[in-house]
Amino acid sequence: MLSPDHKNNAVNGILSQASILMQKSRFSEAVDTLEEGALIDPDNCDIWQQIAVCNLELKRPKKALEAFENIVRIRPCSEEAWAEKGYLHLLLNESDEGIEALQESLRIRPKRSRDWEILALALIAHDRWEEAKHSFERAISLNPNSAVAWYNLAVCNLLDESYDEALQAAETAFAIDPGLQPLADEWIDLLRRDQLFELSIFDEYPAAG
């Protein structure tokens, strides 16, 4: 067994060697090197963070996700690690796990407006409209000039048949960014004229990304 000093020296040497390889875009070799470090010190976050970076460069999101799972194991209060874990789950179409990870990130640090928006979009995919509306409202409270958040809140309200709220949110979005209005061409004029009976219950209205 290595003494703490020898372990630290070995890990620091491995991190330095991996950094050189990464600078040369030799990411596969860097991963091999870093994994040796993880065997020496499996609780070293710096090693796992670099493993995640390399695997993302290599377009291996599942491997990167494994690294972030180790990071949240070591640092369960790292909101950034939970958020990255959430993004990767969503990228891999693991939406339930992605939602849970983003919720944990926002529980730790709720003042991340973009993550509230990402969470809301994931919730929309599961028809969880009330939760999605709440998430967009949280995002807007942190960043009231987010036209996309206002527009997506309008879509949530529209599909939830909260038409007055949908119109108000949509008008706010267009005031901030008029370029969003073409997305609503199929329904915004009907809302303005109070002719909602013309909206088909089977219509789907896209959220803004």
SS3 43: coil
Same fold, 1-81 and 110-209: yes
pTM: predicted TM-score of the whole model, two decimal places: 0.86
Nearest to 60 by CA among 81, 31, 34: 31
Mean pLDDT value across residues 83-90: 98
The architecture (CATH level 2) of 1-81 comes to Alpha Horseshoe (1.25)
Mean pLDDT value across residues 67-84: 98
Please, which pLDDT band fits residue 201 given cuts at 50, 70 and 90? very low
Domain locations along the chain: 1-81, 110-209
Please, which pLDDT band fits residue 200 given cuts at 50, 70 and 90? very low
* pLDDT for position 146: 97
Show the DSSP H helices in the chain as ranges. 4-23, 27-40, 45-57, 61-74, 79-91, 95-108, 113-124, 129-142, 147-159, 163-176, 188-192
| Ramachandran sector of residue 127 (left: φ over 0; alpha: ψ -120 to 50; beta: rest) | left
| 110-209 to CATH, choices 1.25.40.10, 2.40.50.140, 1.10.10.60, 2.60.40.10 | 1.25.40.10
pLDDT tens per residue across span 87-134: 999 999 999 999 999 999 999 999 999 999 999 999 999 989 999 999
pLDDT tens per residue across span 138-147: 999 999 999 9
